[in-house]
Structure 1
Amino acid sequence: MTSKLPQYPGLPAVINGNGAVAHVMKHVCGGVIGYPITPSTEIAELFEQARAEGGLNVWGKHPFFVETEGEHSAQSGALGAALTGGEYISNASSSQGILYAMESHYVTVGKKIGGFVLQVAARVVSKHSLNVMAGHDDVYALLPSGYTILFGSNPQEAADLAAISYRASALSLIPVTNAMDGFATSHVMSEALLPEPALLRDYLGDPSGRIKSPTVAQEMLFGAKGRVFQLNEYLKRHADDFTEQALTAVREHLDGAADAIEADNAGELVDATLAWIPAELHSQWRRQWVNSDEKGTRQRVPALVDLHNPGITGTVQNQPDFQAGAVDHRTHFASAVPALIRQSMDEYAALTGREYKPVMAYDCEDADYIMVGLGSITDDVRALLPYLRSQGLKVGVVSIKALQPFPEAEFVEALASAKSVMVLERSDETALTRAVTQSLFKARANADRPQYDGIPAMAKAPSLTTAIFGLGGHDVQPRHLIAAFKHMADGKNTPLIYLGSQFFGKDSVSSLAILEDKLRAAYPETEAMALETEDNPEGLLPESALRIRFHSVGGYGTVATGKLLTDILAGVLDMHSKSAPKYGSEKSGAPTNYYITLSPEPVLFTNAELEDVEVVISPDHQAFVHT
């Protein structure tokens, strides 16, 4: 946070991640095309609710919303809307919905549309049977399509990164995925400072307005030839209406004052030229002047399809063309994204005081043992750092905010003191581990022979472990993360572990013990993949903190009650809050829990079910039977 009072401090609210993202969308988007899929459904629902009530975006336009027949149609429709330019457009999706629309996601990136943001509440991709809970499978599946991918850890970051995503997309002309954990952020209630409408208007700018082309490639493709060029073209068309002397004089004037004329969007310098312009052409000349675009500028969200003169944006790319297109995309567009992300984050911080970087490092300056992760789990780790440091362990955590392009240089810099690194993976695909491994490889290679520009050399790479956690909403207790840090501190270098899973029991009944012995003998490596844990330590929350657990059944209104109670208690008690539901994919009729934590300090724990609580509320009279 910056020390200076920001121009836009934010609107205080207790809200979940879906609501925070929808707040930005309703003020920004010119249209949303989507299809419901848990856990991102609420994002589009809240947007449509605001639109249906007559809400206008910050540029005074009434947006549109279309619910299609499926996720593929939703993304194809959103792509079509974005191609028309002049509006910020979004879709919201998750899991199988993203996979179903995958070919359209590739095309969305390939068309180089600006101002499009895919809002994702990340969810596991169901394999054997249905699961609608958190996982990073869907986000990882988007990586080869070429999206810029940002990842928030809580409702505050979900809202802020949503705004930053629209800015980065409009500047880079590469669509952005703004991701957060399904349920672990999308459905978690906590305090947030929501972006003010005035902030969004000033920060993002009118999507139909003009900006200087941020890169040379963009200027070549989309940049205007300029006011002076257009005025000279007008003179060519009307040369017969001028005397030779007047024509020469006006051309010399245009050339001599070109810079001032290019910037004169209001037409204040027109009068200085009228002495050379025939009287009957004064009005035309003024219109030509005012309606010509400044040289090198483009529409903030360019139009690639003209609705009044529709055409094809490209049908085939044969043998030489496809590779040429891929080369152009990487070298002239994707290569500019890292700098434009940082620019977008810095501009946002200047207005709000809320600072973001592609890599957010916490207590890493002197850390021997560092965890690396995406999303809400890094908040859980942050909550444990003071306790672990009080135990003599130098620990830290790196929260990745920009997954793609991966910020290799900043990441390696954050690991400068690390002896051991553990990558927290909410997917068995382990794409984050690959990015981390590649970064460390380049840093190590630079120590022997400089090859990779900008990446700090690393004389000795830290040991590396992948820890898979929280798949499908699996519980992650503080003791699991503490055991993982101690695993690193003990010098163990197991390449793969699972947090919260045990392969073999300590006191198994004889029949089960026989089976476990067979498995242990056949798969000896699995024993090292599980960590021994102790009880959760006391004192992780202040003494005055209050924890509440609901036991109920889906359909009893417990989730709505929990949301309301969180908002009310946080206000009445003047305390920070965090709350979340926990239920199965069956939803209605199945056991449902709701957890609320209230504390005088900000609550970072997110992924742990509340085991020790001060209050239990049970609307379900059979809670002890089936919960």
Structure 2
Amino acid sequence: MIATKAQPAKVPYPGIRITTNGNQLVAYHTEARITDGGIFYPITPSTEMGEMYQQAYAEGQLNVFGRSTLAVECEGEHAAQGGAIAYSVTGRRVVNFTSGQGIVYGVEQYYHAPGKLSTMVLEVAARALTKHALNVHCGHDDIYGCLDTGWIMLFAKDAQQAADQALILRKVTEKALTPGINIQDGFLTSHLERTFRKHESDLLREYLGAPDDIVECPTDAQRTLFGPTRRRVPKVIDLQNPALIGPVQNQEHYMNGVAARRNNFV
């Protein structure tokens, strides 16, 4: 008998080969296809991500769930981050794009998002911060500036990993109810042109699910808040039945809230 070599199993979603760069692969070919909205302000080297998201919006593209998207260019990075957080807690799947000084300018807003159970994702093309001179090229000191703000942070070695991580991070943020930052190196990755693979639409729908899907709560803390099930992206603020979040608290209540978040959502 002649032994035959077993054929490898067929990969159901091998990806679609395209020539592009990191900014375009993440923004146009990934985030614009899975989110309800992008709220951002342009800054080098992530400017192109916002531009590509706006291009998808201008072309009238629907996301893979057949829904129209929202693209908002704010007056600055602080406003963009605040807007993205606010939109996300109304039950929307949201992305922001930024780099460098844009991160540290908006860092006050970064503490809000985990405390309000935001599931948003921040896409970053990492950039050096201005010290003795301005530098728009790669550095990680911008990212380290928000290291202790309570966000999940993933670093990508290349554009393909950045696009793959965009999906993985989105899945994690929506399960853990903790926002995430997806990081690629500015210029070295964000502007490098070569052949990558964009994800099939069926893969995006199958892997992520829609923001308004009803899912089981995975932890005791979430079951206490929402009951046995919840929206995949919760409406922390229901615009049809609005209530205040983010009140002023004195020490005893504030301390309990910080401790509860640390034990149950980090």
In structure 2, the residue matched to 1:192 is 196
Range with greater deviation from structure 2 (122-131 or 307-316): 307-316
Alignment of 1:227-246 (within 5 A): none
In structure 1, the residue matched to 2:229 is 297
Question: Is 1:181 paired with 2:113?
Answer: no
Provide the C-alpha distance between the structure 1 equivalents of 2:115 and 2:108, rounded to a whole number of angstroms. 11
Question: Is 1:120 paired with 2:120?
Answer: no
Question: Is 1:24 paired with 2:59?
Answer: no
Question: Is 1:92 paired with 2:24?
Answer: no
Please report how far the alpha carbon of residue 176 of structure 1 lies from its aligned counterpart in structure 2 after TM superposition: 0.5
Question: Is 1:162 paired with 2:162?
Answer: no
Please report how far the alpha carbon of residue 190 of structure 1 lies from its aligned counterpart in structure 2 after TM superposition: 2.1
Identity over the aligned pairs, expressed in percent? 46
Higher CA-based Rg = 1
In structure 2, the residue matched to 1:55 is 61
Q: Secondary structure at the match of 1:144?
A: coil
Please report how far the alpha carbon of residue 130 of structure 1 lies from its aligned counterpart in structure 2 after TM superposition: 1.3
CA contact (8 A) 1:207 1:300 kept: yes
TM-score normalized by structure 1? Answer: 0.41
Could you tell me which of 149, 153, 157 is aligned with 1:153? 157
Higher relative contact order (CA 8 A, sep 6+): 2
Question: Is 1:141 paired with 2:145?
Answer: yes
Q: Secondary structure at the match of 2:162?
A: helix
Provide the C-alpha distance between the structure 1 equivalents of 2:142 and 2:9, rounded to a whole number of angstroms. 39
Provide the C-alpha distance between the structure 2 equivalents of 1:55 and 1:216, rounded to a whole number of angstroms. 39
Provide the C-alpha distance between the structure 1 equivalents of 2:188 and 2:260, rounded to a whole number of angstroms. 38
Provide the C-alpha distance between the structure 1 equivalents of 2:163 and 2:104, rounded to a whole number of angstroms. 25
Q: Secondary structure at the match of 1:316?
A: coil
Structure 1 unaligned spans of 5+: 224-295, 335-627
Please report how far the alpha carbon of residue 333 of structure 1 lies from its aligned counterpart in structure 2 after TM superposition: 1.2
Range with greater deviation from structure 2 (308-317 or 62-71): 308-317
Please report how far the alpha carbon of residue 108 of structure 1 lies from its aligned counterpart in structure 2 after TM superposition: 1.1
CA contact (8 A) 2:111 2:150 kept: yes
Please report how far the alpha carbon of residue 144 of structure 1 lies from its aligned counterpart in structure 2 after TM superposition: 0.9
Alignment of 1:10-409 (within 5 A): 10-22=15-27, 23-85=29-91, 87-114=92-119, 116-223=120-227, 296-334=228-266
Provide the C-alpha distance between the structure 2 equivalents of 1:172 and 1:6, rounded to a whole number of angstroms. 29
Q: Secondary structure at the match of 1:45?
A: helix
The one-letter code matched in structure 1 to 2:237 is V
Higher fraction of helix: 1
| Root mean square deviation of aligned Cα | 1.1
Deviations 1:443-492 (A, max 9, x none): xxxxxxxxxxxxxxxxxxxxxxxxxxxxxxxxxxxxxxxxxxxxxxxxxx
Q: Secondary structure at the match of 2:38?
A: strand
Provide the C-alpha distance between the structure 1 equivalents of 2:106 and 2:195, rounded to a whole number of angstroms. 34
Alignment of 1:544-559 (within 5 A): none
The one-letter code matched in structure 2 to 1:302 is P
What number of residue pairs does the alignment pair up?
258
TM-score normalized by structure 2? Answer: 0.94
Provide the C-alpha distance between the structure 1 equivalents of 2:142 and 2:163, rounded to a whole number of angstroms. 20
Provide the C-alpha distance between the structure 2 equivalents of 1:36 and 1:314, rounded to a whole number of angstroms. 28
Q: Secondary structure at the match of 1:298?
A: strand
Q: Secondary structure at the match of 1:33?
A: strand
Please report how far the alpha carbon of residue 187 of structure 1 lies from its aligned counterpart in structure 2 after TM superposition: 0.6
Could you tell me which of 6, 19, 33 is aligned with 2:11? 6
Deviating beyond 6 angstroms after TM superposition, the runs of 4 or more aligned structure 1 residues are none
Provide the C-alpha distance between the structure 2 equivalents of 1:4 and 1:135, rounded to a whole number of angstroms. 41
In structure 2, the residue matched to 1:342 is none
